[in-house]
Chain A
Amino acid sequence: MFEARSINVEHKDLIHDVAYDFYGLRLATCSSDQFVKVWDQDDQGNWHQTACWKAHTGSVWKVTWAHPEFGQVLATCSFDRTAAVWEEIVGEGSVPGERGMRHWVRRTNLVDSRTSVTDIKFAPKHLGLLLATCSADSVVRVYEAPDVMNLSQWTLQHEISCKLPFSCLSWNPSLSRLHPPMLAVGSDDSNASSGGKVFIFEYSENTRRWNKPETLPNVTEAVHDLAFAPNLGRSFHLLAVATKDVRIYTLKPLQDSSSMQSGLSRFDIQLSAQCDDHLCTVWRVCWNITGTLLASSGDDGCVRLWKSNYLHNWKCVSVLKGDGTQAQNESASTALATPVGVMASATQSTARDLDFIVV
């Protein structure tokens, strides 16, 4: 079902984030080596690095694409306490026919944080050009570019402070106008006694403030990642949380009178899945574009794909092993231990290198 293709990224340190663009045709990677790389896929499906630049003076934690309506725009955040917005510029190529040299320029540097900026995400497109960052000093910042044509001007619209160091955030991507802008923020504070680690913030149009209507009650372990499922037509929200296991929460907005009066939404929060198949720390969760398939990855070096069956039980449908060393160990006798580049076909000799299993 899946064909593995190793991409020789040549980052000199850990890769902390991988992001597809809106169309899934470009990839951005960021690493502790302070570089960001952009990859484009050719017709054969091979990925080619088309840009590579030193983006920060510290580890680059996250990289994220803006909606293409705003251009080819990336945002990064880093251990160096800054976040940056990058735009790809197509030079006025002198050679006709060629698409012109493309390069990325830094449009802005957001320096408000006093500590490592741990996550950065663009808001859903219909909210405008908004950018949220969270940092280890327990602050969520929401920036806005009032003029979408001018990516160098960002105003800090909101600062939401909390007590715990934040590690990850996710915008609720719901397209419905019944759902006000919403952010989920997670903390990787490992002290269970400090209470819930996932906070839900909601923007109130009336008060023009971000409120914190909910804290997920049962998540007391360190949260490494969280992701709202794309909401193309649901009345409720799905939130995946990566902690010591994978959890999926449903948040149903409650339409009761008290919430109408206070303007503060309330939610019926249900834990709809808790899966510890990874048997270890889960680092990342990621939804497909319809919000029907969840991918999670953990210290076991596997990607697990989760799907909900007709009873709304989430089941693991695939396990993808993405660990190069195991492939090398296994094929130590064969000389070609490092498959890099094109995998033409999964012949027997290379099948080992295509290190995956489908359950």
Chain B
Amino acid sequence: MSSRTFFVTQEGPANALALNKDYSHVVIAGRNVFKVYSIEEDEFVESCNLRTGKNLNLNFSCNDVAWNTIDDNILATAATNGAVVVWNLNRPTRSKQEHVFIDHKRTVNKVSFHPAEAAWLISGSQDGTMKCFDLRTKEATRTFYSNTESVRDVQFSPHQHNAFAAVSENGNVQLWDLRRSDRCYHQFTAHSGPVFACDWHPEVPWIATASRDKTIKVWDLSVKPSLEYTIHTIASVGHIKWRPQRKYHIASCALVVDCSVNVWDVRRPYIPFAAFNEHKDVATGISWRGNPHTFLSTSRDSTLYHHVFQDASRPASKANPQGIGLNCRGDVAYACRVNINPSRSAKFSNLLRKGAAQPSHSEQFCQALSNMQQFTCKEPKETYWFRECARRYILTGRSLADICDHNAAVAKDLKRQHVSLIWSIVKTLYSNKVGEYNQPTPPGNISRDESVPGGGVGGVGTTGAGTGGGGESLAGTGIDGDQRSLLGAGGDTPGAPMSGDDETETDETPEQHLNGHVGHLVGGMMFPAQGDFLFGDGELDPLSIDFDRIGLNGGVFVGTNAALDMQQDWTLPSEAFPLRHEIQDRSPPPEQFPNHGSPDMNDNETQTISIEDQPTSVLCVTSMPRLMAWDPSQTMVDMLKHHAVMGDVQTSASVLLALGERRRSLVSLDEATQEHWLLGYLDTLSRHRLWEVATQVIQLAWVPSVSQLNQQSTTVHTCCARCGKPLLRAGWLCDRCHCAEGAACSVCHQVVRGLYAWCQGCAHGGHLFHMQEWWANNKQCPTGCGHICEYS
């Protein structure tokens, strides 16, 4: 028996093949090919070409071919013209055609010989009938009407002498008794699409069916037909053949798409046990050579292949049996195969009993199950450090010395001595030498006053190395900053409890939360009166706390576009509340609302920014530390880079942020790296959902691509409150009404500068403060439009 894979190419594709009873010869048949090959050790030798003679009519065009199971010289073909042709290889003439049965009205799909009765031949046709022919009398003895459109396959049962199965295009399987042509004794719907093939199991009373619905189904017919297995393949299945001596294995080939011949284990119906990928086009027929190791297949690529099992590819062996995942808290999710090959795990497990029978490969194959574990990191030190540092670090709003002191204390409190040391070093190196004037960004609205002198001097000192005069004159403002930050410190402490709310703000009692924030705000910001409507009452809104759940219900929309773009998974309206939330938590840093997108809100703020932006980004140039004997910048850069490399980009980014304008002395640190660190820090912050910190970082960022992050991906559409026309050109001025009524407060009728809150139902609104006051006592819209506004 040959044990090699080999093939032969013909002039045209074959539609079917059949082996003789001792598996030594193969006949292939198609529209333009009809040949018998003998199967040698490692090649096919053509022994007879049946497609000869002068008049090659449609009888030579075959859909199917069958080899008589008793008489080695008799072949039958199903012709595309509806004829069933019997061929006798023993005929002395060149033409081997023995008899032509012209009984079917339409094309014949399938012919099949009875396994025990040499003279019985059955055919299934597109006309919906099956006919049983007797080769001795040369007539169709019986006709079976399937009552379906067409019969695609018909097969005698190897178990019952008179039984045969037929499958049809309407998805039905019929079981017939040869002796009763009036009706079938069983009929069941096997598939949702046409059934193309069936095959009786050689040993047990099973029949497998193959369908266009991409499944192979195995039916147990021992009592009444019941579905035993379903194999899901990737394409319509054209042909199936049970593997000899392997109870659970069946070979299949697809009608389209898939050129491989797959052998499945029905117990593992998802992935082929073996795949034979030699064909370049879909296979059209398969036939085992009576043993489980070799089979033949024809294909539309005009080849006839002899396959051996050892050359098969095993898709399952390439399949990755494990999955592993790490999340930002350090948890590990791990899925792995349950049955690990004992020989391998023996090294790792002293539990393994020696001599346990190792299951065969095939047994192992079908026992494929995974279990999954999550290893929860009990003490996620790094995560804890990161979160705590992110929350508690102060990055701006005070003198650098204070910032460093505070942050060093935070790091020390978390037992991160080296990080603490870094902050101390930063303080030593950078806080004394330089005048206090260049705080990164003077905080709050009062900065409007100070930033003017700051900007002026900055402009003078553009060429660098701040003159002594500049330093002095600015020291005054620096003191201011200190005073503020002292006051701010008062606010920090009550704010501290809120650092416990990472992902579940809802857990916290609103009062505690609010107190923290209010204290934070009042102490830290010293808001002038105009700041009240911005935040004061917003603080008292308990719903702002669990914004991510209730946001959808919010009837009042508070618009700013300072939204984090990381929050895309929320729908737009819900962003109203996180925004307020961001603003609250960010109280110590300067209030810069990059509100260019929607000028109807925060008018005050935008004005303020336009002034205070200048000193930070354009005009205010750092006064470089005077030339010292030792320039620490390179060491600083190295140190920051080291931390970035060690995965602690938080320290690198935070130090840069805290340094403010002094970072410019770090000349060897290019902006791309700075941007990289900031983005890295932001990415990690957003993974930990520390939005407040992320927003602060974005606002403090000096790299344009970072500072613009919160101006992207959020769009606020506004409509004119009077005519409903979308406001495209400006956020508040309606082109149609030529009025800015939309910008006016419904209560006080003043144009709203700053936060504008409105009802999404009737589009009326105004100052947040006024709106809240109104809705505290009223249900209806203040304009009198009659809308019952919902404020939550």
> Are A16 and B321 touching (Cβ within 8 A)?
yes
In the complex, which residues of chain B have a beta carbon less than 8 angstroms from the beta carbon of A15? Answer: 322-323, 335-336, 370, 372
B341, CB-defined interface residue at 8 Å: yes
A212 to B379 Cα, complex, angstroms: 42
Residues of B within 8 A of A320 (CB): 332, 334, 373, 375
* A24–B329 CB distance below 8 A: yes
Alpha-carbon distance between A320 and B379 when the two chains are bound, in angstroms: 15
Does A112 have its Cβ within 8 Å of any Cβ on chain B? Answer: no
Which residues of chain A are within 8 angstroms of B373 by Cβ–Cβ distance? 4-7, 320, 322, 324
Q: Which residue on B lies nearest to A179, using beta carbons?
A: B676
**A70-B332 contact in complex given A13-B270, A232-B677, A233-B673, C-beta closer than 8 Å:** no
With A and B bound together, what is the CA distance between A320 and B377 in angstroms? 11
Given A20-B326, A24-B687, A283-B321, also A290-B375 (CB < 8 A):
no
Could you say which residues of chain B place their CB within 8 Å of the CB of A299?
A: 321, 340-341, 344
Say yes or no for A127: interface residue by CB 8 A criterion. Answer: no
Contacts of B679 in A (CB 8 A): 126, 175-176, 232
A351 part of interface (Cβ distance < 8 Å): no
Chain A residue contacts of B113, Cβ below 8 A:
none
Contact B271 A13 (CB under 8 A): yes
Which A1-58 residues have a C-beta within 8 angstroms of B? 1-7, 9, 11-20, 22-25, 27, 29-34, 43, 45, 47, 57-58
Nearest-neighbor residue (CB-CB) of B352 within chain A: A329
The complex places the Cα of A178 from the Cα of B676 at a distance, in Å, of 9
Beyond A15-B335, A290-B382, is A303–B323 a contact (Cβ under 8 Å)? no
Question: Are the C-beta atoms of B320 and A283 separated by less than 8 Å?
Answer: yes
Does any Cβ of A come within 8 Å of B337's Cβ?
yes
On whether A14 and B647 interact (CB within 8 A), knowing A34-B232, A320-B334, the answer reads no
Counted as pairs of residues, one from A and one from B, with CB atoms less than 8 Å apart, the total is 288
Q: Is the CB of A292 within 8 A of B646?
A: yes
The CA of A170 and the CA of B417, in the complex, are separated in Å by 36
Supposing A20-B325, A57-B234 touch, asked if A175 and B680 sit within 8 A by C-beta, the answer is yes
Summarize B's interface: helix, strand, loop or mixed.
mixed
Contact in complex: B376, A3 (CB < 8 Å): yes
Are A58 and B647 in touch, CB under 8 angstroms? no
- Is A325 in contact with B339, judged by CB distance below 8 angstroms? yes
Residue B284 at the chain A interface, CB threshold 8 Å: no
Contacts A178-B672, A288-B326 given: A232-B332 contact, CB under 8 Å? no
Bound-state Cα–Cα, A3 to B378, Å? 7
Q: Which residue of A lies closest to B645 (CB)?
A: A234
Residue of B nearest to A99 (CB): B549
**Cβ contacts under 8 Å, B673 to chain A:** 176, 178, 233, 235
Complexed CA–CA distance, A167 and B319 (Å): 9
A70, B212: Cα distance in complex, Å? 36
**A13-B335 Cα distance, complex, nearest whole Å:** 12
CA distance A299 to B336 in the complex (A): 9
The total of chain B residues at the interface (CB under 8 A) is 89
Tell me, in angstroms, the Cα distance from A29 to B268 when the chains sit together.
19
A155, B568: Cα distance in complex, Å: 23
Assess the A47–B374 pair: CB atoms within 8 A: yes
Chain B proximity mask over A320-348: 1 for CB below 8 Å, otherwise 0: 11111110011000000000000000000
- Report yes or no: A70 in contact with B271, Cβ–Cβ below 8 A: no
Residues of chain B from 304 to 323 with CB closer than 8 A to chain A in the complex: 315-316, 318-323
Q: Is B351 on the interface with A (CB-CB < 8 A)? A: yes
Smallest Cβ-Cβ distance to A111: which chain B residue: B257
Nearest-Cβ distance from residue A92 to partner chain B, whole angstroms: 11
Bound complex: CA of A271 vs CA of B235, how far in Å? 44
A13-B368, A323-B336 known; A79+B271 contact, CB < 8 A: yes
Q: Is there a chain A Cβ closer than 8 Å to B338's Cβ?
A: yes
Those of B639-659 within 8 Å (CB) of chain A: 641, 643-649, 652-653
Proximity bits, B346-371, A CB within 8 Å = 1, else 0: 01110110000000000000001111
Pick the most buried of B318, B328, B679, B713: most chain A CB atoms within 10 A of its CB.
B318
Contact flags B476-510 to A (C-beta < 8 A → 1, else 0): 00000000000000000000000000011000000
- How far, in whole Å, are A297 and B652 apart by their CA atoms in the complex? 32
CA A305 to CA B684, docked complex, whole Å: 21
Q: Return the contact of A1 from the options B235, B378, B571 (Cβ within 8 A).
A: B378
Contact between A14 and B676, CB atoms less than 8 A apart: no
Contact A29 B372, CB 8 Å, known A14-B337, A232-B684:
yes
Write the nearest CB–CB distance from A335 to chain B, whole angstroms.
Answer: 18
> CB distance A323 to B379 under 8 Å?
no
**B371 — nearest CB in chain A belongs to which residue?**
A324
On chain A, the residues within 8 Å of B315 by CB distance are 59, 79, 116
CB nearest to B705 among chain A residues:
A177
Q: Do the beta carbons of B504 and A43 come within 8 Å of each other?
A: yes
**Does B566 sit within 8 A of A, measured CB to CB?**
yes
Q: Which of B271, B352, B644 contacts A233 (CB 8 A)?
A: B644
Interface string of A214-253 (1 = CB under 8 A from B): 0000000000110000111111000000000000000000
A295 touching B326, Cβ below 8 Å: yes
Q: Which residues of B contact A80 (CB under 8 A)?
A: 234
Tell me, yes or no, whether A81 is within 8 Å of chain B by CB. yes
In the assembled complex, the Cα of A180 lies from the Cα of B335 at a distance in Å of 33
Chain A residue contacts of B653, Cβ below 8 A: 233
Residues of B within 8 A of A59 (CB): 270-271, 315, 319
A9 contacts B372, CB within 8 Å? yes
- A300 with B348: in contact, given A17-B320, A20-B326 (CB under 8 Å)? yes
Tell me whether A143 is interfacial, beta carbon within 8 Å: no
Q: Cβ of A14 and Cβ of B369 under 8 Å apart?
A: yes
Question: Which of A31, A188, A303 interacts with B332 by CB under 8 Å?
Answer: A303
Interface status of A263 (Cβ within 8 A of chain B) = no
Instruction: Kindly identify which residue among A7, A287, A300 contacts B326, using a CB–CB cutoff of 8 Å.
Output: A287
**Is B405 an interface position by the 8 A CB rule?**
no
Give chain A residues whose Cβ lies under 8 Å from the Cβ of B319: 14, 16, 32, 59, 61
Residue B345 at the A interface, CB < 8 A?
A: yes
- The verdict on B11 contacting chain A, using a C-beta distance below 8 Å, is no
Contact A14 B680 (CB under 8 A): no
Is the pair A323, B340 in contact by a Cβ cutoff of 8 Å? yes
Interface string of B238-271 (1 = CB under 8 A from A): 0000000000000000000100000000001011
Given the complex, which residues of B lie within 8 Å of A287, measured CB to CB? 326
A300 touches B375 (CB 8 A): no
Question: Which among B328, B340, B369, B503 has the greatest number of chain A C-beta atoms within 10 A?
Answer: B369
Report whether A176 and B374 are in contact in the complex, using a CB–CB cutoff of 8 Å.
Answer: no
- Residue A171 lies at the interface, judged by CB distance under 8 Å to chain B: no
Rounded to whole angstroms, the CA-CA distance of A230 and B683 in the bound complex is 10
What are the residues of chain A within 8 A of B687 when measuring CB–CB? 22-24, 289
A286 in contact (CB, < 8 A): yes
Q: Is the C-beta of B22 less than 8 angstroms from some C-beta in chain A?
A: no
Q: Does B531 contact A (CB under 8 A)?
A: no
Q: Which of A1, A61, A292 has the most CB of B within 10 A?
A: A1
Bound together, the chains give a CA A259 to CA B455 distance in angstroms of 43
User: Are the C-beta atoms of B234 and A291 separated by less than 8 Å?
Assistant: no
A279 contacts partner chain B, Cβ-Cβ < 8 Å:
yes
Q: Chain A: which residue is nearest B553 at the CB level?
A: A96
B335: contacting residue among A18, A126, A232, A285, CB under 8 A: A18
Contacts of A301 in B (CB 8 A): 336-337, 340, 345, 348
Q: Does residue A72 face the partner (Cβ distance < 8 Å to B)?
A: yes
The 5 A-B residue pairs with the shortest CB-CB distance, nearest first, are A24-B327, A232-B680, A233-B644, A18-B323, A292-B647
Q: Known A-B contacts: A29-B335, A68-B566, A71-B569. Give 15 more (CB < 8 A).
A: A13-B368, A15-B370, A16-B323, A18-B324, A20-B325, A22-B686, A32-B268, A34-B232, A178-B676, A232-B649, A297-B336, A299-B340, A303-B375, A321-B348, A325-B338
Interchain residue pairs with CB less than 8 A apart (14): A15-B323, A18-B323, A20-B326, A20-B331, A24-B327, A24-B328, A31-B370, A34-B232, A177-B676, A178-B673, A233-B643, A283-B322, A322-B372, A323-B336
Which A positions have Cβ atoms within 8 angstroms of B?
Answer: 1-7, 9, 11-20, 22-25, 27, 29-34, 43, 45, 47, 57-59, 61, 68-72, 79-81, 90, 96, 99, 116, 126, 167, 174-178, 188, 224-225, 230-235, 279-280, 283-293, 295-303, 305, 320-326, 329-330, 356
